[in-house]
Amino acid sequence: MTSRCSHFALPEQFSDKITAMGVQDQLQIAVRREADRVILALDGELDMASAGLLEHAMEGVDGETTVVLDLDQLQFIDSTGLRSVLSALEHCKERGQEFAVTRGSQQVQRLLGVTGVAKHLRIIDAADEVLA
Amino acid sequence: MTGQTLPTHDVAVELLVEAGAVLASSLDLATTMSQVARLTVPRLADLCVIDLRDDDGSIREVAVASYDPEIAAPLEAMRRQHPLDPAGGHPVARVIRTGEPELLAEMTSALMRSFAQGSRHAKFMIDHRYHSAVVAPLLSRGRTLGTLSVLRLGDGQPYELADLELACELARRAATAIDNARLFSELRRVEQRLEAVLVNVAEAITLTDDRGQMVFANQAAADLLGASTPAELMSSSPGTIMPRFLVLDEQGRELGLESMPGRRLFAGESPGPLLVRNIVRATGEERWLIVRSSPVTDPESGRILYAVNVFENITEVKRAQLAERFMAEASRVLASSMDYAETLQHLTRLAVPQIADWCAVDVLSESGEIERVAVHHSDPRRIELAERLDRGYRLGLDEPVGVPEVIRSGRARIYTNIEPDALAAYARDDGHLALLQAIGATAVIIVPLAAPARTLGAITLASAESMRRLTHADLALAERLGRRAGTAVESARLYTERTRIASMLEAALLPESLPEIPGAKLASLYRAAGELNDVGGDFYDVLAYGADRWLLVIGDVCGKGPRAAAVTALARHTLRTAAMLDLTPTQMLDTLHAALRHQPSGPDMCTVCLVTFERRSAGARLGVTLAGHPPPLIIDVDGGRTQVGTPGTLLGVLDPIEISEVDVELGADQTLLLYTDGLPEANRTGMQLGEQTLFEPGVQAPAPTLAGLLSQIEQAALRRASGRLRDDIALLALRLT
């Protein structure tokens, strides 16, 4: 009885989609402004599900001369997440803003290194570090 | 005078025996009083008067008996008009106060005047020649209810002590009878008040005694228990009402009379409210009732006299609650499985016996045939009947009634009462009829398995041996179920279709087979994350690269879905073309970078690892070029691993890219492993390949075969990711032969 139509599979990941809707649980971005600097502190995981949050946050960044992504609390990043960081870099270049990131977790550092992206980023030790 | 007879022993016995019979015959106070009065005349007295004391102490109620109505009636009237003074000197008042009998052997005129209630009373007594009297107290339960006075008139023999004793004995018996009659009339008043309340309440209420006999029922109880009047219920013998119903608990277990709270009260328990599902056997009507019973106890003995049973009908509330619970369970079941036929089978199990005795699901196949995908009954032997029916008498879509009609019209149908004639008319032949009769459906609901845009099939619910009636409330619930299940099945179908298209696309992006390289073995493995629903961006390839050289390619395009698939195809074909043009690996990657950078739809991002392979006499020479891709590994026989290559910039988004080729030797015993990011990303700790994290303890490389090694790596990655990969994994391995 059960085998006849077993090639129809029920979408198991429907439940995951629901979880993905709660992206905020996965990534939180705190925006802090200090003088002419805006610091976006990323906490959690930046991946396919949450990359949109960073892009959205960057839309609100305009007037400041310096933009810092504080990656100290970023646990994980994948290629889509990396791409959103590169979009942020692009965004700043177009507006003539300084762009810097902090180091992030081991996994974040590894991906930035392996992809050669690290060489294109200004990596600083602390989000409030004075840029020369 | 006839009343002069001596109270001999025989007369006394006769009188008392007669008193016993007469006094037991009535519970009406007035009747009892006049019976007592009449008993004494003429055997013991010419005139007998009973006076009763009211609760307020007044002496109002009176009964008089005499051989001469000319005496009795006026005396009774006079007593009512001028009640005796309870505090006065009349012997009756005195006896009521003291509780002691009085013998007035000789009543003189002076004596009578001394206690008369006025001159008329004195004249009456003197005129009727009151001569001798005994006034005995009516004592019951320690209280004096009143007096029994016997009198002799005229010249007869005065009363003596023996008469006093007889009168007292008679008074004791009379007192008990009068007390009972009074209590009874009081009880009747209470009952009447209670009844006035009970007949008007909506809840069904019955009063049963210790034998189960119903002594009271209101109209609501008669309605609930299938009687036309409460009287009909009360005249039913104990135990004859319950068998009219199938009484089940919430779990569907049948309950006997002994489980009813009323019965349990008499068994000495303190039963709480009982929720029962009650099915009227005659009609199949289903009700949900809460039965509460409380005892009526005898205040003196503490014995339970009656059980008051209150039946609250909560059918509507319970139905709604069960419907919601059922739908919640159904939704959970429908979302629980990968296999929709299995899911529908679970669904039929949920429906039986909660809402029906039978549940079957039929779906319309793509070729227009009706296929039975699930059927359930709580008895497996009966399921066999349904399967025989399905095999022998398969439904055709053009049939005028039943499942085919519902599938065609998309409209639900309810057959509340299936007549034998209708079944015979429906049956195709005798064998069909016999099977249908064996299944024994008495009521059927068929609802469409309704997806948003079309009807996929039908769900059939049938009532059979339980005789449960199927109502329009059941129909509404079944229709909801049909829509919910239909949507789930449709989603599953669409999902499967997308998955199939995705995997076809995926396959088109990977080489069908790896080429033969002289002096080397190759193996590859591709593991999609999740459900293959989105096309991943991983790719690999092995290409001839000049005369005795080969090019191993592995890469990963950022993103998923159609665009990633298009970019993957672009990357793969750009590299193939570049390889044919004999470009160096660095030039190839520059070309790809430029192609990605100038995509009409905007730049795309991609990582690539290229390894050139050239067989040497004792080993091989490798040229490793990385563009944002994790470095390949060289794995030794003892499991030691070395990363090779210099990190280079990923392609498509950053300018300028920095990439360089690195020369590496591959030994005869060594294995080269190329992989995509899905592997290191399989866990989130950011571990580095090349360290011990690639292989878990117990998975020692190299495995005997290359395919075995790749499988071990895949399994280890799956374990680290707890079975759920974040990204696709592509592996390409090479070993010298």
Residue-level pLDDT at B358: 93
| Same domain membership, residue B574 and residue B701 | yes
Residue-level pLDDT at A25: 61
Residue-level pLDDT at B154: 87
| Same domain membership, residue B339 and residue B252 | no
Largest Cα–Cα distance in chain A?
A: 73
Rounded Cα distance between A29 and A42, Å, is 5
Whether residue B262 is contained in a domain is answered as yes
Rounded Cα distance between B589 and B584, Å, is 9
Nearest CA in chain A to B676: A79
B656 — contact with chain A (CB < 8 Å)? no
Nearest CA in chain B to A12: B338
**pLDDT top residue among B601 and B387:** B387
Whether residue B680 is contained in a domain is answered as yes
Question: Which chain A positions have a beta carbon within 8 Å of B727's beta carbon?
Answer: 78
Q: Are B449 and B486 in contact (CB under 8 A)?
A: yes
Whether residue B503 is contained in a domain is answered as no
Domain count, chain B: 4
Q: Are B68 and B85 in contact (CB under 8 A)?
A: no
Residue-level pLDDT at B5: 47
Q: Would you tell me which residues 407-466 of chain B have a C-beta closer than 8 angstroms to some C-beta of chain A? A: none
Residue A9: which of B338, B659, B686 has the nearest Cβ?
A: B338
Cα four-point dihedral sign B571, B576, B582, B584: positive
What residues make up the domain containing B291? 204-313
What's the CATH number where B608 sits?
A: 3.60.40.10
Please state the rounded mean pLDDT for residues B405-433: 91
Q: Are B485 and B334 in contact (CB under 8 A)?
A: yes
Whether residue A92 is contained in a domain is answered as yes
- Residue written as token pair 């040497």: B616
Indicate the residue among B498, B522, B555 that finishes a domain.
Answer: B498
| Same domain membership, residue B215 and residue B179 | no
Nearest CA in chain A to B608: A115
Cα-trace Rg, chain A: 18
Question: Which chain A positions have a beta carbon within 8 Å of B558's beta carbon?
Answer: 79-80, 82-83
B111 — contact with chain A (CB < 8 Å)? no
Of B293, B735, B222, give the one whose Cα is nearest residue B523.
B735
Of B613, B724, B616, give the one whose Cα is nearest residue B678.
B724
Whether residue A16 is contained in a domain is answered as no
In this complex, do B650 and A15 lie within 8 Å of one another by their Cβ atoms? no
B326 — contact with chain A (CB < 8 Å)? no
| Same domain membership, residue B326 and residue B447 | yes
Whether residue A12 is contained in a domain is answered as no
pLDDT above 90 as % of chain B: 23
Give chain B's mean pLDDT: 83
Rounded Cα distance between B61 and B83, Å, is 9
Indicate the residue among B292, B313, B334 that finishes a domain.
Answer: B313
Domain count, chain A: 1
Q: Are B529 and B726 in contact (CB under 8 A)?
A: yes
Amino acid in the structure at residue A69: L
Read off the pLDDT of residues B289-320 as tens digits, 9 standing for 90 and up: 989 888 888 777 888 888 888 888 888 888 88
**Which of B654, B657, B679, B694 is best to mutate for the A interface (most A CBs within 10 A)?**
B654
Please state the rounded mean pLDDT for residues B124-150: 90
Question: Which chain B positions have a beta carbon within 8 Å of A2's beta carbon?
Answer: 339, 341-342, 345, 374
Please state the rounded mean pLDDT for residues B46-59: 87
What's the CATH number where B308 sits?
A: 3.30.450.20
pLDDT(B185) > 50: yes
Residue-level pLDDT at B685: 44
The DSSP bridge partners found for residue B196 are: none
Question: Which chain B positions have a beta carbon within 8 Å of A83's beta carbon?
Answer: 558-559, 605, 653
H/E run at residue B172? helix B161-198
| Same domain membership, residue B623 and residue B584 | yes
pLDDT(A9) > 50: no
CB pairs under 8 A between A and B: 139
Residue-level pLDDT at B137: 94
- A117: DSSP letter: G
Whether residue B194 is contained in a domain is answered as no
Read off the pLDDT of residues B84-120 as tens digits, 9 standing for 90 and up: 888 988 999 999 999 999 999 999 888 998 988 888 8
User: Nearest-CA distance from B648 to chain A in Å?
Assistant: 5
Indicate the residue among B313, B334, B366 that finishes a domain.
Answer: B313
CA dist list (Å): A78 to B120, B239, B440, B727: 123, 75, 62, 9
**Which of B373, B560, B653, B726 is best to mutate for the A interface (most A CBs within 10 A)?**
B653
Whether residue A14 is contained in a domain is answered as no
In this complex, do B492 and A8 lie within 8 Å of one another by their Cβ atoms? yes
Task: Dig out the tokens for B375 from the structure.
Answer: 């059927």
Whether residue A17 is contained in a domain is answered as no
pLDDT above 70 as % of chain B: 88
User: The whole model's pTM is what?
Assistant: 0.46
What residues make up the domain containing A42? 23-124
Read off the pLDDT of residues B540-572 as tens digits, 9 standing for 90 and up: 999 988 888 999 999 988 877 667 777 888 888
User: Nearest-CA distance from A120 to chain B in Å?
Assistant: 8
Per-residue confidence band for B359, with pLDDT thresholds at 50, 70 and 90 = very high
Whether residue B413 is contained in a domain is answered as yes
Highest mean pLDDT among A77-81, B141-145, B552-556: B552-556
Whether residue B269 is contained in a domain is answered as yes
Whether residue B435 is contained in a domain is answered as yes
Per-residue confidence band for B536, with pLDDT thresholds at 50, 70 and 90 = low
* ipTM for this prediction: 0.74
Rounded Cα distance between B414 and B479, Å, is 11
Rounded Cα distance between B361 and B375, Å, is 6
What's the CATH number where A53 sits?
A: 3.30.750.24
Per-residue confidence band for B721, with pLDDT thresholds at 50, 70 and 90 = low
Nearest CA in chain B to A118: B649
What's the CATH number where B105 sits?
A: 3.30.450.40
Whether residue B95 is contained in a domain is answered as yes
Q: Would you tell me which residues 596-635 of chain B have a C-beta closer than 8 angstroms to some C-beta of chain A? A: 605, 607, 626-631
Of B438, B459, B439, B437, give the one whose Cα is nearest residue B448.
B459
| Three-class SS of B537-553 | CEEEEEEECCCCEEEEE
User: Nearest-CA distance from B237 to chain A in Å?
Assistant: 51
